[in-house]
Amino acid sequence: MHEYAFFLGCIAPNRYPGCEAAAIKTSEKVGIKLLPLKGASCCPAPGAFGSIDLNVWYAMAARNVCLAEEMKKDITLICNGCYKSIYEVNHILKHNDDLKDRVNEVLAEIDMEFKGSQDVWHLAELYYDPKICGVQKIRDSVTTPLTGAKVAVHYGCHLMKPQKERHFGDTENPMWLEELVDALGCESVQYRNKMQCCGAGGGVRGYDITHSLDITNEKMINLQEVGADALTEVCPFCQLQFDRGQIEIQETFGVSYGLPILHYNELLGLAQGMSPQDLALDLHGIDCTPFLKKVL
Amino acid sequence: MAVKKYDNPDLEKKLHDTRYHSIDTNPEFTKKVLDISRTIANMCYQCGTCTGSCPSAPRSSYRIRLFMRRAVLGLEDEALTDPDLWLCTTCYSCTDRCPRDIAPTDVIMAMRNLAFKRDIIPRNFLKTAQLIYSTGHGVPNNDVNRAARVKLGLTADPPTTHSYPEFIPGIQKILNYFELKQNADRMLEGE
């Protein structure tokens, strides 16, 4: 069993608790144990805090990493926004002693110290990593194959970009999440401009909601073109933008798509035999029933 | 080759002065942007790949290339008072495609940091900061969600600062160190 400190963030536990429940249960079936990271806070939101003052962003994210350092565990998480904050700050501070000293000056006020002794991983990359889990193990864990559905994939921005601060390689047309989706028995589909942003990041959702929804709408049009039955992603903030966003798009632009949006962990949960109630799919803004009828 | 002459002696002088700066130019601004963004913004050669990659560009007047030029020329007021500064979704497409290996996204973040120092910031950013100060979360829990969590077999509040509020004073100390709460409260006063 590989053990990790599970960093929750805000939107997964406080808006889509099904993602959290699914992550804990699904990962255990493939040999990953998630331990609660007690006292963690918001990552903090890279768009909002990074825009206000990057120094606060470094210090707040470093505090969350310190909690895992005390547990002597690597961090894993299920949100791209959290990944941007926690992974990137950990990465930057490990390679920049000046900045590390400055952050530690702040953390000294609360008797903490960033050491740089742990790493940060997205749960999806652990699923894909053959050293930890790998696609075959995911495939073996499936009890209810999700056959007969076309599922499109949204990678989100902050998981893989900026490329040179990450280790994923190509960011123009990656295919590894599709492999993970295909392993569940459904068919992954390609669509135009797959790597485009969901529109929520950088504080734009709060600053100019119409502008933000217009970006989302472009993605929805591209998804509709290929007849996707559902969209899967690995970021609850993207999920919020696509899921609640579709309702807001209906109100703002008068178009409705009714495309179910599922976090990869929720999809994996369904494939491993969890019921829609176990995943709190009823909390989703867009009804998942048409998709569920197709696959279950 | 004959050099064209102008009647205007002022203009003539300006054109011959290779060190001429517009009065709006602040070379310190360029330095500050380089320092905060930790990227080589001054190496931008204005190819426009960034604007071509930008999801915000087709639906607004926001042009990341323009902001890059402002960074190079030190056009501080023009950059920081432009409302388009806040339309970057930080998707980093421009950063991945930049042929000069610059991170235009980080240039935008640096400019936003500098704008905040001048009290220029959208209110939603400050509200998120206030929420984190009081709860530790930018998106706090609510009753509907608590009920759903219990049904799923989770604790009503996640094992974060929500379940361990004793960690909140530490977070407040960090935010106070940068006077973030005071500034947010001051700017949002009366709302």
**For chain A, domain boundaries:** 2-123, 143-295
B21 band by pLDDT with thresholds 50, 70 and 90? low
Nearest neighbour of A50 by CB, restricted to B109, B140, B163: B109
Decide if A53 and B138 are in contact by the 8 Å CB cutoff.
no
State the smallest CA–CA distance between residue A233 and chain B in angstroms. 15
Decide if A199 and B175 are in contact by the 8 Å CB cutoff.
no
Nearest neighbour of A203 by CB, restricted to B93, B122, B180: B122
Q: What is residue B3's predicted lDDT score, i.e. its pLDDT?
A: 63
Best A6, A7, A11, A14 residue to mutate vs chain B (most B CBs within 10 Å): A14
State the smallest CA–CA distance between residue B25 and chain A in angstroms. 23
* Average pLDDT for A88-109: 97
A253 band by pLDDT with thresholds 50, 70 and 90? very high
B10 band by pLDDT with thresholds 50, 70 and 90? confident
Which has the minimum average pLDDT: A245-254, B19-28, B96-105?
A: B19-28
* Average pLDDT for A235-263: 97
- CA closest to B37 among chain A residues: A54
ipTM of the assembly?
A: 0.94
* Average pLDDT for A9-38: 96
Decide if A161 and B129 are in contact by the 8 Å CB cutoff.
no
- CA closest to A62 among chain B residues: B174
Residue B37 in this model has a pLDDT that exceeds 60:
yes
Per-residue exposure over B143-171, b if at least 16 CB sit within 10 Å of its own CB, e if not:
eebbebbeebebeebbbbbbbbeebbebb
Q: What is the DSSP letter of B21?
A: -
Best B35, B39, B59 residue to mutate vs chain A (most A CBs within 10 Å): B59
In this structure, CATH architecture of domain A2-123: Up-down Bundle (1.20)
Tokens 């432009």 identify what position? B82
Measured between beta carbons, the chain A residues lying within 8 angstroms of B95 are 161-163
Q: What is residue B7's predicted lDDT score, i.e. its pLDDT?
A: 85
* Average pLDDT for A55-76: 97
* Average pLDDT for B138-159: 96
Residue A80 in this model has a pLDDT that exceeds 90:
yes
- Average pLDDT of the residues of chain B: 93
B25 band by pLDDT with thresholds 50, 70 and 90? confident
- Are A2-123 and A143-295 in the same CATH fold? no
Measured between beta carbons, the chain A residues lying within 8 angstroms of B138 are 10, 42, 44-45, 48
Residue A14 in this model has a pLDDT that exceeds 90:
yes
* Average pLDDT for B135-159: 96
Q: What is residue B2's predicted lDDT score, i.e. its pLDDT?
A: 59
pLDDT tens-digit readout, A220-230: 999 999 999 99
- Average pLDDT of the residues of chain A: 96
**A143-295 CATH pick, 3.30.565.10, 3.60.150.10, 3.40.50.11810, 2.130.10.10:** 3.40.50.11810
Q: What is residue A121's predicted lDDT score, i.e. its pLDDT?
A: 97
Cα A235 from Cα B91, distance rounded (Å): 14
Decide if B88 and A278 are in contact by the 8 Å CB cutoff.
no
* Average pLDDT for A40-50: 94
pLDDT tens-digit readout, A144-197: 999 999 999 999 999 999 999 999 989 999 999 999 999 999 999 999 999 999
Decide if A51 and B166 are in contact by the 8 Å CB cutoff.
no
DSSP codes joined into one string, chain A = -EEEEEE--SHHHHH-HHHHHHHHHHHHHTTEEEEE-TTB-----HHHHHHH-HHHHHHHHHHHHHHHHHHT--EEES-HHHIIIIIHHHHHHHT-HHHHHHHHHHHGGGT--------EEEHHHHHH-TTTS-HHHHHHH-SS--TT-EEEEE--STTT-SGGGSS----SS--HHHHHHHTTTSEEE--TTTT---S-TTTHHHH-HHHHHHHHHHHHHHHHHTT-SEEEES-HHHHHHHHHHHHHHHHHH-------EEEHHHHHHHHTT--TTTTTGGGSSS--HHHHHHH-
